[in-house]
Structure 1
């Protein structure tokens, strides 16, 4: 294993020997590879892991206080002067960018997306309208648990992020709404296109997998789907979210999740349910939106986008994308394939379309499928 006296020539010799081992293993397994090509992946994975071990050993070499990482030997100072480059000291690799992702921050972004979709579904608008009707005495609520909760709903106003602050956060993190982002921040307008792109590649990967299983029922060859395309689209989305996950996102998520739960407790209380002749909180929400807010509810679609979007973003917060073994990658990715298909279908049903602008292939716009009639809610990407 490499130590502080290992030279660049010795390291290159070790790496060259590993490549010769790779070639020998392929030649020895030639007959087996003809029958089971997937064995080649195991051979390559074995060599790649060995190379990683060598470079990790370089990172663990103990340094001395006067250690200059071999620069004096390279430039000709001191008593150990290199006569050629092979006698210089090898340098370890820097940590990969994609390994330096904070799981907690991406998890908070997933929860914020969940909150946003429920707010777009009209949960907070319905509660505030219900509270207004209750205070005016226009509905038959008096002293039940729902009535008491309506009274208490905004008593903790000092702890609640206002609608303006929430919309500014959505603009900063997702590029949604037309609100002005917090001072110094820019709207993350790339998010929706990156999320759509990732979901489409995941869906296509498993479509190709199903086709390959039909055409190659014996399973002797790998599937048609490209791991690299799915990985790259997922890493692009992770990188985008990393840049916008700093700040008060985690704190806002924690408070507003409580606010969202309290809102559903009110909608699901028995006196409010009985008032509308409903079966559950979602039915009450739809009745409020239709009867008093004058909107056409899209609660089912927004609810599915909330659940599946949160599931996808939380999956991305793990290191699953970095797996290089196909069977492992497929098995881990299968956990969100249904969520990706569901998200795409729900997004389309609320009017989000993938339409690149003419002459600008790298720009994606999202437009409603049709203009609403008078009094209807306007469906949009935000």
Structure 2
């Protein structure tokens, strides 16, 4: 097949490809009735051939005499176009780049995990426990938890303050009411985009289950729309791409260590025995209720942390760009439970899921302190 050089040649070749598509579908009617997935193979074959034609129509680089057909179009020079079809065909501009740096998005997923644990009160509970330990109000003396409490803020020069963390949460997720770092804007669209993506993933598999019940033989394609899920996921990826620059990865690495140290304290034997608890989460809830006089939301925040991190790490890969339906469904199935977990947990603590809602913005933090 010759390389197309003019509009007329390219349009003729594309018309022949579309005619081939129609012919292949007509000739495969019997097979398509039994196995509709064959239609995807036919369409993909024709689309790939069309992409090759458009690529071949691109101007060959390094040709100084090539004026992109403007001379022929304007009637200048030795070659004058008598019809518009004789004008040289030009390539399309590059499509929008949906690629993303996976390391940055993984760092954002970890930051979301940290944020939800901070909202669960992990750091505030450790600080309250430290205050009680220093004042002697609790029966804690020289065990591993007591020593860890003493050491918890000894390395404060390495720690991001609570205010600095809240500023990053505001910049990346739009959460908290603290001003973002100077020069940054709060990412107020994040919560609605994450909610939207989770809802579409959940609905996709709801439609899939319904179609499997109505069509138990699997003879037809499922009801769920790949395009809707892909678009909502790409919107979320693009949003996070714009806010993942800066010190997000460094802060994530440092505060993950701080979070682990906090849970080591809450889960130490002497602290667990002090509160008659079974584990660190029980200690956290006891401190929240007994000393901070708040209703603990540890279970919901923990699930949102784990589910949100899984979803954002999944988006860091290029799974959304998969065009084959069966592959797309199999890859998407890895996060369907996480999406439904996130939606249910968010709804149970009163975070509205409709676009435009303020989400966590309506909840204020207590004044910043220099701990971690």
TM-score range, shorter chain: 0.7 to 0.9
* Partner of residue 371, structure 1: none
Q: How far is 1:58 from its partner?
A: 5.9
Quick check: 1:364 aligned with 2:357? yes
Instruction: Indicate the residue corresponding to 1:151 in structure 2.
Output: 150
Quote the residue 2:188 is aligned against.
189
In the alignment, is the contact (CA less than 8 A) between 2:71 and 2:80 conserved in 1? yes
- Structure 2: state its 5+ residue gaps: 362-372
CA distance in 2, matches of 1:253, 1:2: 55
Corresponding residue number in structure 2 for 1:330: 329
SS of 2:357's partner is: strand
Deviation at 1:10, TM superposition (A): 3.6
1:67-111 per-residue CA deviation (whole Å, 9 max, x = no partner) reads 756256555666666555444443333333252322222222111
Runs of 4+ in 1 over 6 A off after TM superposition: none
Q: 2:243 is matched with which residue? A: 244
Cα deviation digits, residues 130-188 of structure 1 (max 9, x gap): 11122222223333322222222212222211111111111111111111112222222
- Report the more deviating stretch, 325-334 or 301-310: 325-334
Determine which structure has greater relative contact order: mean sequence separation of CA pairs < 8 Å that are 6+ residues apart, divided by chain length. 2
Residue in structure 1 matched with residue 339 of structure 2 by the alignment: 340
Verify: 1:37 aligned to 2:30, yes or no. Answer: no
Report the CA distance shift for 1:159/1:68 in structure 2 as closer, same or farther (over 3 A). farther
Equivalent position of 2:214 in the other structure = 215
Match of 2:226 in 1: 227
Q: 2:68 — aligned with what?
A: 70
Instruction: Give TM-score, length-normalised by structure 1.
Output: 0.85
* Pair 1:176–1:69, CA change in 2 (3 A): farther
Q: Name which of structure 1's ranges 143-152 and 162-171 shifts more when overlaid on structure 2.
A: 143-152
State how far apart, in whole Å, the 2-side matches of 1:78 and 1:41 are.
47
Taking only aligned residues, the RMSD between alpha carbons, in angstroms, comes to 2.6
User: Structure 2 vs 1, CA of residues 104 and 11 (structure 1 numbering), >3 Å: closer, same or farther?
Assistant: farther
- Between stretches 99-108 and 47-56, larger displacement belongs to 47-56
Contact 1:72 1:78 in 2 (8 A): no
Secondary structure, counterpart of 1:364 in structure 2: coil
Query: Is the contact between residue 353 and residue 367 of structure 1 (CA under 8 Å) also seen in structure 2?
Result: no
Superposition TM-score, scaled by structure 2 size: 0.88
- 1:118 Cα offset (Å): 0.4
Q: 1:67 to 1:148 in 2, by over 3 A?
A: farther
| C-alpha distance after superposition, 1:19-50 (max 9, x if no partner) | 22211211110121123222212211121222
